[in-house]
Amino acid sequence: MARQAGITMKERRSAVLQHANKAGYNAVAAFEPENVFYLTGFWGEAIAVCTADGTKLIAPKLEYSRAQHSSVGCEVIPTERGSELLMTFVAQVKDKKACTDCSDFTTIEHIRKLGNNIAIDTEPFFQARRIKDDAEMAVIAKASRILDNLYEICEDEIKPGVSERQLQAKLIYEAMKMGANPPSYNSTLNPLIIAGGPNGALPHAEVTDRKFRSKDMIVVDLTLRHKGYIADATRTFALGSATKEMTPVYNVVQESQKAGLDAATAGATCGQVDAACRDLIKERGYEKYFIHSTGHGIGLDVHEPPWLRTNAEEVLKANMAVTVEPGIYLEGKFGVRIEDSVLVTGGRPKVLNRYTKDLVVL
């Protein structure tokens, strides 16, 4: 198993360096935890430097033992935090033309004052990360199965009188027992989206203390991380019964999502997938209520390239991992969104979420 992990890590480093070389760089420096993990297998406070000569992981002393234990095939260099860490880093990229994912102005200015004219360029990282290897695909699939289990739990937990916050707490508890962790976002105070009734009309609703009521539509958007990797799915439930207005809306979103999945094949553009979803919703008269893009890449970030949005020209390739998630949002009433994590193939994508997409009335 260690040998396989080493081979995979070597291939990831090679891919990042190849993209960097094409852009004129002969070294890459990862500051962001996602890219450090991608190159070394260590998730934490550190800098990963990757060159043709190998990979070095510069870690503060408080992280040194953990970095040694979890990193794969790289030299771990201990140092102090702050300026000494940056001085150690600059010594490793001396005479190198390096690019980095670090966008912190103060850090970049400090590095340049120490004598390295490093370039900010995240593309070599994201170009490599777009295509998932076998190990990554297996972890994302496992994360998706955890989400499926959580939707089964929703069937037992969603009842009149239960609040959005109570359901979120239960799902996070159960998810962590199954080996998943909530990701963190700067743009929200909550790890999940649990939105009942009119709150469901807000695509990125914050979890509240509102209690579920009979005839609510309840949007449950679960994004969780397993062994570093993200799976993302959404299901919309009806409580008690669905009204005559709710059922047709749900059916349109379900058909739209199927059209998007049918279009999400290797060789199609991201814009074509978006159009497949959007055109069907437009045809049914709900165009102005579909107010976000159709999907996004998933992996070590919750949202990463490629982007499935209007007129996007990027071409999908086999082994990309993306979401397909159309929705309709009727302000002050309810919302419906259906989302799966999928792997792109030469034919119909491999849908990783198996929980039913038919309307479940609880």
The length of the chain in residues reads 362
Which CATH number do you get for residue 29? 3.40.350.10
Burial class for 154, CB neighbours closer than 10 Å (0-12, 13-18, 19+): buried
Model pLDDT, residue 6: 64
End-to-end Cα distance, the chain: 44
Return all residues near 282 (Cβ < 8 A) that are at least 6 apart: none
On the question of pLDDT at 22 being above 60, the answer is yes
Q: What is the pTM of this model?
A: 0.95
118-148 per-position pLDDT tens digit: 999 999 999 999 999 999 999 999 999 999 9
Same domain, 311 and 163: yes
On the question of pLDDT at 181 being above 80, the answer is yes
Specify whether the CB–CB gap between 132 and 319 falls below 8 A: yes
Same domain, 52 and 157: no
The pLDDT confidence band at residue 185, using thresholds 50, 70 and 90, is: confident
Question: What backbone torsions phi and psi does residue 73 show, to the nearest 5 degrees?
Answer: 65, 35
Structure tokens at 180: 């998943």
Question: What backbone torsions phi and psi does residue 142 show, to the nearest 5 degrees?
Answer: -65, -40
Same domain, 25 and 52: yes
pLDDT-above-70 percentage for the chain? 98
Closest CA to 242 of 336, 325, 164: 336
Asked which of 66, 94, 129 is the last residue of a domain, the reply is 129
The pLDDT confidence band at residue 4, using thresholds 50, 70 and 90, is: low
Same domain, 217 and 80: no
Same domain, 56 and 137: no
On the question of pLDDT at 5 being above 70, the answer is no
Which CATH number do you get for residue 327? 3.90.230.10
Model pLDDT, residue 2: 44
Mean pLDDT estimate for the chain: 96
In angstroms, the Cα distances linking 352 to 93, 145, 250 are 41, 7, 21
The pLDDT confidence band at residue 347, using thresholds 50, 70 and 90, is: confident
304-321 per-position pLDDT tens digit: 999 999 999 999 999 999
On the question of pLDDT at 108 being above 70, the answer is yes
Residue 334, strand partner residues: 330
Model pLDDT, residue 1: 36
Domain count, the chain: 2
Model pLDDT, residue 45: 96
Same domain, 44 and 164: no
Cα separation of 228 and 180, whole Å?
9
Asked which of 129, 147, 174 is the last residue of a domain, the reply is 129
Torsion of CA 210, 157, 249, 329, to 10 degrees: 30
Closest CA to 255 of 203, 327, 349: 327
Same domain, 147 and 58: no
Q: Which domain holds residue 83?
A: 2-129
Structure tokens at 65: 């033992």
3-state secondary structure the chain: CHHHHHHHHHHHHHHHHHHHHHCCCCEEEECCHHHHHHHHCCCCCCEEEEECCEEEEEEEHHHHHHHHHHCCCCEEEEECCCHHHHHHHHHHCCCCCEEECCCCHHHHHHHHHCCCCCEECCHHHHHHHHCCCHHHHHHHHHHHHHHHHHHHHHHHHCCCCCEHHHHHHHHHHHHHHCCCECCCCCCCCCCCEEEEHHHHHCCCCCCCCCECCCCCEEEEEEEEEECCEEEEEEEEEECCCCCCCHHHHHHHHHHHHHHHHHHCCCCCEHHHHHHHHHHHHHHCCCHHHCCCCCEEECCCCCCEEEEECCCCCCECCCCCEEEECCEEEECCCEEEECEEEEECCCCCCEECCCCCCCCEEC
CA torsion through residues 159, 165, 170, 171, sign? positive
Phi-psi region of 252 (alpha: psi -120 to 50; beta: other; left: phi over 0): alpha
Same domain, 203 and 230: yes
Asked which of 88, 110, 129 is the last residue of a domain, the reply is 129
Same domain, 142 and 265: yes
Query: Tokens 């993209």 sit at which residue?
Result: 19
